[in-house]
Amino acid sequence: MKNEIYGHFHPDERQFVDRAWEWVNHAGEYHEVKLTDFLDPRQGYILHSLVNRHPDVILRMEGGHEGAERRRALIAPDYRDLDHEDMEMKVLAITPAEQKFQALEHSDYMGSILGLGIKRSKIGDIRVLENGCHAVVTSDIADYLAIHLNGVHRVSVSTEILPLSALRGTETKLEIMELSVASLRLDGIASDVCRLSRSKMLVPIKGGRVRVNWKVEEDPSFGLKEGDIVSVQGFGRFKVTEIGGLTQKGRYHVQVGKFV
């Protein structure tokens, strides 16, 4: 059974597959209920596919808002009603004390939270606002963060714990880039976006540090398509927003948006 499951996923994902299958198996066989930390979309996909393999297990995933990227999962035997279960999430509102907040970005807030020794899995989506940010976090670390998070990127901040109902929306900001490429290969488009030579881009790709739609992709020739989200460790991530037709010279016009 394990080998059959492994065949569907990247070798780097086996550790998570093992944990997720244990959650599913324990829910189905021993009637246990498991509330996970925040999962990224790829982990959510893996978990969902494993739950579908067990007829006696159900799954609920929540991230604080309808379009949440990172979500907590509740895995339980199928006779449980999960609709009213507490998913144990809070909103940490972070407000800069100085009028320098325009310069603070997603990575600044994330870095300051992680700098307090918090695991990435305890943090859901971070929504950067015009006057600070709202970070969705697990309830068990909310008080700790509210007490100890005093600054972000050398800017003093105040914090407040809010219910999920107070989470404010924000539009994802993309910096649009227009590219003309010879092919839709991962290495070619990513090298243009990251402003690296093709040969230098091969290093993170073959080193397992590039993900397409949250899945590790080590094949430089992998073909990208519209809607794909690519992350390159150390260089951020981008979305392929539009692929135009071929030019007279046989090149593709590609529009990408870098997440800012």
Mean pLDDT, the chain, integer: 93
Strands 215-216 and 229-232: unpaired
Note the pLDDT of residue 99.
64
The answer to whether residue 82 is domain-embedded is no
How many CB atoms neighbour CB 102 within 10 A? 9
- What is the residue range of 32's domain? 2-77
pLDDT of 243 > 70? The answer is: yes
- What is residue 214's three-state secondary structure? coil
Pair (147, 209) in one structural domain? no
Note the pLDDT of residue 176.
95
Domain count, the chain: 3
Average pLDDT score over residue span 78-104: 88
Average pLDDT score over residue span 74-93: 97
Domain boundary among 150, 166, 182: 166
Pair (70, 106) in one structural domain? no
Alpha-carbon distance 243 to 157, whole Å? Answer: 42
Pair (185, 225) in one structural domain? yes
CATH number at residue 98: 3.30.70.330
CATH number at residue 28: 3.30.1370.160
Note the pLDDT of residue 102.
57
Residue 149's closest CA among 158, 140, 141?
A: 158
Give the pLDDT confidence of 19-42 residue by residue, as tens digits: 999 999 999 999 999 999 999 999
The answer to whether residue 10 is domain-embedded is yes
Give the pLDDT confidence of 143-162 residue by residue, as tens digits: 999 999 999 988 999 999 99
Pair (154, 188) in one structural domain? no
**Contacts for 35 with CB less than 8 Å, ≥ 6 apart:** 72, 73, 74, 87, 88
Domain boundary among 166, 197, 217: 166
Pair (211, 250) in one structural domain? yes
